[in-house]
């Protein structure tokens, strides 16, 4: 099949994030990095705004304050996409009062929940930048050159490095384009913006997925029109700093895995994605797409890794299922379930430490109010299936964040 003949849409850059204060993050010796004011994300709400947003973001008039409840843990909170394009705000679990906001065009969280990397939108003569929020400062890692566009971001499994992509030339699906897959190590003596793979004039664009530093493997997808993952790419970083690139064609059946659905487990050992046509959940070892397994039709209402585990969360009927891929057998995922969730609800995110799940039971439009149910999870989810609270927030509530 001709790779440019497949209808793929541009995959939206929506990333899962969790945030706490980062102390002692070292600045590389490379020039081009600057420090600027940044919110200190504490439960006392002392933050006002990042350098990319002026003043404190006030609570939208349409959002209502969540009622109190023992299930809430204000060591955690949520990121909400506001009605203004590109603006995201932080709130606690127990209150929708905005603590701070920042302007972004794609972001990602470190696996331990201690750092957030994001692309600035860029406008006019101001180029896009790759930044990290941490503590009382904000580090600028990369400033894109003229003609370059931000791609995706993925943290390494140890939180000490970032894989990212950049695009240039034509739009997604066009032949006259270039895309690079790059790595950035935060250590002062690390590699600061090293390109490890390049795609030129094919219509495909890199989107990083994960970086297992213990195995020295970076994984990425190549996406084009339609939003599917046309190829799964792994790059092995050898001790001599050479790069061994392998790619697997993933388009053999239907439209394939939706790039926007592709997620890596916290330790970057496994990857999952949802098939565009069948809604099957597919998961595979980071280094071997061909070794993947599937759960038929289970991804219709979303599929996410539970942080700190190899459990995939997905919805079926009036239940939230948690399937451990380490225990998956001939019949598929071996699951425990949380019952009593609306049949039309979807899995929005997990609490950053995996101790709770957030279910969206209302509208999914970012400018509309929606109902969300926070469900506490234990070692046996069935035993805690009634431990929950429901609140209202804008449909743009994206993910859990961590404040301490």
Task: Identify the DSSP state of 57.
Answer: P
CA of 64: how far to CAs of 89, 263, 372, 394, in Å? Answer: 15, 31, 12, 9
Are 191 and 184 in contact by the 8 Å Cβ rule? The answer is yes
Checking if the pLDDT of 166 tops 50, the result is yes
3-class DSSP state of 395? coil
CB neighbourhood size of 218 (10 A)? 29
Q: Residue 145, class by beta-carbon neighbours within 10 Å (0-12 exposed, 13-18 middle, 19+ buried)?
A: exposed
pLDDT given at position 63 = 36
Consecutive H or E run containing 384: none
pLDDT given at position 47 = 32
Residue scoring higher pLDDT (197 or 174): 197
Instruction: Tell me the torsion sign for CA atoms 404, 398, 391, 308.
Output: negative
Q: Count Cα atoms within 13 angstroms, Cβ side, for 70.
A: 2
CB neighbour list of residue 252: distance below 8 Å, 6 or more residues apart: none
Average confidence (pLDDT) over 314-334: 86
pLDDT given at position 134 = 66
Question: Which of 54-68, 142-156, 220-234, 355-369 is the least confident region?
Answer: 54-68
Average confidence (pLDDT) over 304-325: 93
CB neighbour list of residue 74: distance below 8 Å, 6 or more residues apart: 43, 92, 93, 94, 403
Average confidence (pLDDT) over 75-80: 90
d(CA 56, CA 215): 43
CA of 57: how far to CAs of 39, 50, 89, 102, 401, in Å? Answer: 12, 11, 7, 9, 17
**What pLDDT, in 10s, does the model give residues 93-138?**
999 999 988 899 999 888 877 788 999 998 777 899 999 986 556 8
Mean pLDDT of all residues belonging to the chain: 79
**What pLDDT, in 10s, does the model give residues 181-221?**
999 999 999 999 999 999 998 889 999 999 999 999 999 99
Task: Identify the DSSP state of 273.
Answer: E
Question: Which of 29-43, 144-158, 200-214, 234-248 is the least confident region?
Answer: 29-43
d(CA 18, CA 108): 8
User: SS3 helix, strand, coil % of the chain, rounded to 5?
Assistant: 5, 45, 50
Are 24 and 122 in contact by the 8 Å Cβ rule? The answer is no
CB neighbour list of residue 35: distance below 8 Å, 6 or more residues apart: 27, 137, 138, 139, 140
Average confidence (pLDDT) over 353-361: 93
Q: Which of 1-5, 61-65, 129-133 has the highest mean pLDDT?
A: 129-133
């Amino acid at each position: 099949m001709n790779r440019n003949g497949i209808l793929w849409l541009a995959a939206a850059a929506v990333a899962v994030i969790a945030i706490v204060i980062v102390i002692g993050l070292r600045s590389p010796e490379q020039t081009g990095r600057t420090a600027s004011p940044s919110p200190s994300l504490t439960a006392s709400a002392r933050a006002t705004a990042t350098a990319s947003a002026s003043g404190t973001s006030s609570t939208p008039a349409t959002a209502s304050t969540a009622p109190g409840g023992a299930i809430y843990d204000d060591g955690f909170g949520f990121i909400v996409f506001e009605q203004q394009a590109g603006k995201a705000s932080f709130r606690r679990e127990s209150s929708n009062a905005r603590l701070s906001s920042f302007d972004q065009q794609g972001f990602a969280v470190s696996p331990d929940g201690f750092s957030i990397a994001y692309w600035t939108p860029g406008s006019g003569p101001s180029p896009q930048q790759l930044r990290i929020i941490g503590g009382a400062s904000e580090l600028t890692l990369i400033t894109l050159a003229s003609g370059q566009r931000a791609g995706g971001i993925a943290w390494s499994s140890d939180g000490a490095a970032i894989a990212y992509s950049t695009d240039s030339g034509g739009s997604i699906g066009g032949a006259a384009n270039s895309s690079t897959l790059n790595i950035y190590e935060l250590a002062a003596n690390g590699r600061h913006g090293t390109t490890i793979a390049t795609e030129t004039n094919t219509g495909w664009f890199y989107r990083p997925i994960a970086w297992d530093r213990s195995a020295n493997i970076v994984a990425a997808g190549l996406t084009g029109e339609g939003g599917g993952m046309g190829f799964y790419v792994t790059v092995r970083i050898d001790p001599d700093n050479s790069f061994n690139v392998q790619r697997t064609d993933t388009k053999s059946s239907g439209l394939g895995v939706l790039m926007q659905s592709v997620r890596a487990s916290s330790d970057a050992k496994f990857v999952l994605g949802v098939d565009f046509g069948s809604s099957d959940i597919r998961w595979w070892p980071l280094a071997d797409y061909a070794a993947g397994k599937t759960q038929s039709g289970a991804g219709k209402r979303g599929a996410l890794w539970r942080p700190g585990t190899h459990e995939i969360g997905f919805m079926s009927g009036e239940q939230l299922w948690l399937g451990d891929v380490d225990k998956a057998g001939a019949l598929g995922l071996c699951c425990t379930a949380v019952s009593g969730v609306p049949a039309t609800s979807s899995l929005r995110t997990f609490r950053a430490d995996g101790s709770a799940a957030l279910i969206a039971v209302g509208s999914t439009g970012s400018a509309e109010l929606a109902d969300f149910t926070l469900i506490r999870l234990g070692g046996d989810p069935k035993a805690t299936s009634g431990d929950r609270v429901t609140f209202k927030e804008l449909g743009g509530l994206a993910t859990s964040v961590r404040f301490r």
